[in-house]
Amino acid sequence: MKVKAFLLPVACCLLPVACCLLPVACCLFPIPYSLFPIPYLQWKTAKNNNKQ
C-alpha cells in the first residue's frame, strides 16, 4: 500500500508536465517536414492525385 501512496503524488506531478509537453511536441512535430520537404511534398502530391 505504501507504493500506491508514493505513486499517486508522483503521477499528479507528472500529469501537468505531460500536459505541458504535449503542445510542445505538437509544435515540434512539423519540423521533420521542414527538414525533409521533398518526401513530404511527394507524399502530398501523391495524396492529391489519389483524390482525383
Res 35: pLDDT: 67
Res 52: pLDDT: 59
**Sequence-ordered strand ranges (E) for the chain:** none
Res 4: pLDDT: 80
pLDDT digits (tens, 9 = 90+) for 5-48: 888 888 888 888 887 787 777 777 776 666 666 666 777 788 88
Q: What radius of gyration do the chain's Cα atoms show? A: 20
Res 37: pLDDT: 65
Asked whether 9 and 16 are in contact (CB, 8 A), the reply is no
- The amino acid at residue 4 is K
- Of 42, 44, 40, 20, which Cα lies nearest the Cα of 30? 40
Range of the domain at 27: 2-51
Structural domains in the chain (count)? 1
- In whole angstroms, what is the distance from residue 39 CA to residue 43 CA? 6
Cell of 32: 521533420
Res 33: pLDDT: 62
